[in-house]
């Protein structure tokens, strides 16, 4: 039987262990800018997918994702050993690292929203200075209608 609550607790614990190990125990310079964002564990607790992001060293520097992937691949065995020691489960889950695309999607969404705001502002500017093509109030009102109509 699948226990989703147990899988969620194990995923949270794996996230903490892997992030702590990368920050303090794994001395690979390729992992210096890796941040663990999430973990998902299968219902049978045998496989764990660990999501990560890579931040650039400088403000405008592009992160080296290939180097980070190579560093994580090299450290997978020792990280799995640390997860096994830190969780105490009967079977230590296999670890698979996957690049988290949420920050890129968020950045793209922010750019789209900024473009939409700029477009809205330009439409509002045009509308503010515009005047109606016909009457200023083109709708029929009760006082305008003749009393003979039903």
Asked if the structure places residue 140 within a domain, the reply is: no
Asked if the structure places residue 117 within a domain, the reply is: no
| Residue ranges making up the domain that contains 96 | 4-100
Asked if the structure places residue 134 within a domain, the reply is: no
- The pLDDT value recorded for residue 120 is 93
Asked if the structure places residue 146 within a domain, the reply is: no
Asked if the structure places residue 133 within a domain, the reply is: no
Instruction: Return d(Cα 51, Cα 71) in angstroms, integer.
Output: 14
Asked if the structure places residue 63 within a domain, the reply is: yes
Asked if the structure places residue 69 within a domain, the reply is: yes
pLDDT above 70 as % of the chain:
91
pTM > 0.75: yes or no = no
CATH number of residue 17's parent domain? 3.30.300.20
Asked if the structure places residue 119 within a domain, the reply is: no
> pLDDT for 80-138, tens place per residue?
999 999 998 889 999 999 998 887 888 899 999 999 999 999 998 888 888 777 777 77
Q: How many domains does the chain have?
A: 1
- The pLDDT value recorded for residue 138 is 74
């Amino acid at each position: 039987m699948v226990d989703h609550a147990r899988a969620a607790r194990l995923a949270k614990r794996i996230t903490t262990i892997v992030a702590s190990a990368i920050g303090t125990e794994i001395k690979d310079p390729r992992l210096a800018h890796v941040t663990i964002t999430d973990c998902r564990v299968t219902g049978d607790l045998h496989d764990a997918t660990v999501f990560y992001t890579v931040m650039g060293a400088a403000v405008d520097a592009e992160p080296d994702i290939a180097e980070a992937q190579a560093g994580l691949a090299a450290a997978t065995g020792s990280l799995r050993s640390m997860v096994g020691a830190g969780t105490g489960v009967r079977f230590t889950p296999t670890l698979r690292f996957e690049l988290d695309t949420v920050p890129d999607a968020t950045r793209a969404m922010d750019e789209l929203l900024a473009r939409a705001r700029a477009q809205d502002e330009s439409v509002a500017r045009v509308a503010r200075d515009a005047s109606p093509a016909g009457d200023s109030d083109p709708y029929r009102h009760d006082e305008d209608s003749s009393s003979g109509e039903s």
